[in-house]
Structure 1
């Protein structure tokens, strides 16, 4: 059987075209629920601190990450005095980072995921190589579902890399034993920032 006859037979036996499904049923109106987002993040093993000022971050870091020696903060307002000049190098300069504090664009209430791009984090390896990760996200930027996340935010151009991070890195593939930090940070702290009215 020749190539042309095979292609002709396939073309002749195409199924009838069907209309695409209506995805509007997945859309939610209004913002996501920060309380639902918090509940899911905590269920995934993360911890959430609701803050109304960035000045609340340093005492929380001192209390909950007292053993951290090398801390990188991508914005000085999160943790004044933390390392900010860390971008020179090929990524290996980050191998001994104990805690990284980074901004997140938005969170998703249904699964506790936070969207991070290379607009906020220039060195892509940072959220994965650090021992502990803290993400600052605004409570005003919580969307209800992943559908809303893709429809309203990710579809817009911006950046060449993006990742959803939900909870600390963990796996139970090896002997059915839960291992934290197998592929990334051992812990996730979310600073849920609500700006003053």
Structure 2
């Protein structure tokens, strides 16, 4: 028996007993009088922008104007225009010039300002992280108070990839200075449909 096999056998023999996950008492979780107001407050405090709109179609003209500007704009929301499916197979070097990306989110989280996005909503999984300006659209009733509630409403096994995104990219590890857009979107605007 090789040293590798001995190590793997020792690991297999010395497994801890499985322990059941704790049962969460949902009555003791954080509650907010207005989850939208909390979501907006938190997201804006971390560098994002939140705008309340009545209908998703209000973004059609914005998308048309962005595309007319000559910049590389990618739309992943069928309700506001043709989805740019050609970017599905684009590489990072082909997507690096994306100025704006329009993406539909699934659920927003009031406690931290995060929005869950499935891979299929991104068109290309690089898109929300490589674009300069990220635009996410969610429904107001889809904003939940906590991450516990978010995980109840998201099926993480549905697709191979998904992500919680909270505002624009940011880092403060260089000289303790906050830098927005250091390694991802420089801005994030979340449109919440009433």
Query: TM-score, structure 1 length as denominator?
Result: 0.76
Secondary structure of the structure 2 residue equivalent to 1:50:
strand
| Matched residue count | 181
From the superposition, tell whether residues 35 and 66 of structure 1 become closer, same or farther in structure 2 (CA, over 3 Å). Answer: farther
Displacement of 1:141 in angstroms is 0.6
| 1:140-155 matched pairs, under 5 angstroms | 140-154=141-155
Secondary structure of the structure 2 residue equivalent to 1:87:
helix
Question: Which residue of structure 1 lines up, in the alignment, with residue 131 of structure 2?
Answer: 130
Unpaired runs of at least 5, structure 1: none
Query: TM-score, structure 2 length as denominator?
Result: 0.77
Question: Which residue of structure 2 lines up, in the alignment, with residue 120 of structure 1?
Answer: 121
Secondary structure of the structure 1 residue equivalent to 2:184:
coil
Displacement of 1:176 in angstroms is 1.6
From the superposition, tell whether residues 82 and 70 of structure 1 become closer, same or farther in structure 2 (CA, over 3 Å). Answer: farther
Displacement of 1:46 in angstroms is 0.7
Displacement of 1:91 in angstroms is 3.9
Question: Which residue of structure 2 lines up, in the alignment, with residue 170 of structure 1?
Answer: 170
Question: 2:66·2:73 contact (CA, 8 Å) conserved in 1?
Answer: no
| 1:1-197 matched pairs, under 5 angstroms | 21-25=22-26, 26=28, 33-58=35-60, 69-78=71-80, 80=81, 83=84, 85-154=86-155, 157-194=157-194
Question: 1:48·1:190 contact (CA, 8 Å) conserved in 2?
Answer: yes
Question: 1:71·1:82 contact (CA, 8 Å) conserved in 2?
Answer: no
Question: 2:54·2:193 contact (CA, 8 Å) conserved in 1?
Answer: yes
Q: Tell me the distance in 1 between the aligned counterparts of 2:68 and 2:187.
A: 14
Question: 1:71·1:97 contact (CA, 8 Å) conserved in 2?
Answer: yes
CA RMSD of aligned residues (A): 3.6
Question: 2:89·2:124 contact (CA, 8 Å) conserved in 1?
Answer: no
Q: Tell me the distance in 2 between the aligned counterparts of 1:104 and 1:32.
A: 20
